C-alpha cells in the first residue's frame, strides 16, 4: 500500500506598483495591516502580526501572541521564507517561500508565493490556494 501523497505546492502571483524593497517591507514588516483577521486564531482580538527576521512569526491578540511560523530566509527586496504551521496540527509544518521579482524598466514588482512541503495528511489545496489569492489581493491593495 502506498503512503499518503502530500499536496502539490500552492503557487500564487501578483504584480504590485512598488519596488522590490517596498513590496518586501509591505509583505513582512506590515503583514498585520493587510492580513485577514479571519485567518488568525481569534479574529475578534486580532491586532497585528509580528515578523522577527531572526525568529518567530506570530499573530498578536491584545497581550497574547500565537506563534505560527519561523523565518528561515530574510533577503530584503529578494526573498522571504518561513516555516508555516498556522492551521496545521502542532508539530507539523509547511514552507512559505515568497520572491520579490523586479520587472525590468518598471517600478512594479512581481510577487511570487509558493506554499509547499505539506505534511502527510494535509487536505484542501483548493481552499488554501483561494486563501492565498485573497491574501495577495489584500496585500496588493495595501501597497498600491
Residue-wise pLDDT tens digits, 106-132: 889 999 999 999 887 676 666 788 899
Is 131 part of a structural domain of the chain? yes
Helix, strand, coil shares, percent, the chain, to 5: 25, 40, 40
* CA–CA distance, 141 with 25 (Å, rounded to integer): 14
CA-only gyration radius of the chain, Å: 15
Is 87 part of a structural domain of the chain? yes
pLDDT at 2 over 50: no
CA 53, 59, 63 angle in degrees (round to 5)? 110
Beta-sheet strand order (sheet of 109-116):
10-16, 109-116, 94-102, 79-84, 64-75, 56-61, 46-51
Domain of 26 in residue numbering reads as: 10-35+76-143
Q: pTM of whole model > 0.85?
A: yes
- The CATH number covering residue 30 comes to 3.30.530.20
Amino acid at each position: 500500500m502506498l503512503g499518503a501523497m502530500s499536496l502539490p505546492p500552492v503557487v500564487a502571483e501578483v504584480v504590485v506598483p512598488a519596488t522590490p524593497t517596498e513590496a518586501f517591507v509591505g509583505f513582512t514588516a506590515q503583514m498585520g495591516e493587510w492580513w485577514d483577521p479571519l485567518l488568525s486564531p481569534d479574529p475578534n482580538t486580532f491586532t497585528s502580526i509580528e515578523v522577527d527576521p531572526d525568529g518567530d512569526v506570530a499573530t498578536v491578540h491584545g497581550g497574547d501572541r500565537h506563534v505560527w511560523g519561523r523565518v528561515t530566509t530574510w533577503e530584503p527586496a529578494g526573498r522571504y521564507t518561513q516555516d508555516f504551521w498556522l492551521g496545521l496540527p502542532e508539530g507539523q509544518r509547511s514552507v512559505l517561500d515568497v520572491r520579490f521579482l523586479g520587472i525590468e524598466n518598471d517600478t512594479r514588482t512581481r510577487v511570487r508565493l509558493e506554499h509547499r512541503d505539506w505534511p502527510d495528511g494535509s487536505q484542501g489545496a483548493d481552499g488554501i490556494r483561494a486563501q492565498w489569492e485573497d491574501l495577495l489581493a489584500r496585500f496588493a491593495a495595501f501597497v498600491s
